[in-house]
Amino acid sequence: MWTWEVPAYFWLGGMAAGAYVTASLAHGFGSADDRRATAGGYYLAAAALVPCAPLLIADLGRPDRFHHMLRIFKPLSPMNLGAWTLTGFTPIAFARAASHAAGTGLLRGPLGALARLVPTRLAELAGCALGLTLAGYSGVLLAATNIPLWAKSKLLGGLFMASALASGSAAVTLQAARRGAPDATLHRLAALESAASAGEIAVLAGYLTQSGRTARPLTRGRFAAPFWLGAVGAGAVLPLLLHRLAGGRRGRALQSLSAVASLCTIAGSLALRWSIFEAGKDSSEDQSASFELSSG
């Protein structure tokens, strides 16, 4: 039986992907202020990835199981694809973070000289591709099981990807707000986070519609409160309202509202994965849900 390490791994891996994508978008299309304010996203991505492999290995039970998955590349196997993606994304994220640290003088000496050789644009493109794969594969992995709540809808991968982009951009916004980023940068980050949250709500609506009665353990069962109040209310709707309220604010007021909204988004992302994961266990014991899944 899968344990708590799974939703924790999904949450951290998704947030790492979202933070990396946010920082890369800012470096590719943003202003100089945007690039300076969001560069911490590379550090956030690297830090969030540190516990991911240990969490995955802990769930697998033995380290050699993780190693065995890397012996053969099976892109059609969600578990195998996820292991390979994590293995590829982690060093790229660390290399890009080291490259930025070297560019700002934080990393010096031989390591700094080596980090300056990293092709940043290539690392950004490859990291974004692998990060988005890592963010979405977790939902595909759950959907490949015979658990009714996870398998009925084909949108779980898209839902987790949208949530990852929202939580990752929120993490970048949070650190930018705490560091006193320019108002214009915070407004642009808020727009990105809000777009991801709106997309998450839209995909979630489709997921619940497709899931039908198999979603009852999530929407009406003992995990309904953390789902509706945590994942949906505090994690998606409230941040949208707070960012809307912050639209006309400047300075400290903008920074405070942005920080609170981002914290809510990050917590809501964890609540979403945890509630869907745990409610899925109840769904597996629901005979009517299993019948609905098998009947198409």
- The pLDDT of residue 279: 95
Which tens digit of pLDDT belongs to each residue from 144-202? 998 999 999 999 999 999 999 999 999 999 999 999 999 999 999 999 999 999 999 99
Of 79 and 127, the one with more pLDDT: 127
Rounded average pLDDT over 55-72: 82
pLDDT greater than 90 at residue 35? yes
Distance separating alpha carbons of residues 148 and 284, to the nearest angstrom: 6
Provide the domain limits for residue 254.
5-294
| Range name among 64-68, 82-86, 91-95, 271-275 with the lowest pLDDT average | 64-68
Tokens matching residue 74: 């099976």
Do 23 and 39 contact (CB within 8 A), yes or no? yes
> Residue 89 burial (CB < 10 Å; 0-12/13-18/19+)?
buried
- The pLDDT of residue 78: 87
Say how many CA atoms lie within 13 Å of 184 toward its Cβ. 8
Do 118 and 97 contact (CB within 8 A), yes or no? no
Distance separating alpha carbons of residues 163 and 35, to the nearest angstrom: 23
Instruction: Give percent above pLDDT 70 in the chain.
Output: 96
Single out the residue of 146, 166, 180 nearest to residue 243, CA to CA. Answer: 166
What residues contact 220, with CB distance under 8 A and at least 6 apart? none
Mean pLDDT of the residues in the chain = 93
pLDDT greater than 90 at residue 294? no
CATH number at residue 250: 1.20.1630.10
Band of the pLDDT at 69, cuts 50, 70, 90? confident
Distance separating alpha carbons of residues 121 and 136, to the nearest angstrom: 23
Which tens digit of pLDDT belongs to each residue from 242-272? 999 998 888 999 999 999 999 999 999 999 9
Which tens digit of pLDDT belongs to each residue from 101-123? 999 999 999 999 999 999 999 99
- The pLDDT of residue 285: 79
Distance separating alpha carbons of residues 285 and 37, to the nearest angstrom: 48
Query: How many domains is the chain built from?
Result: 1
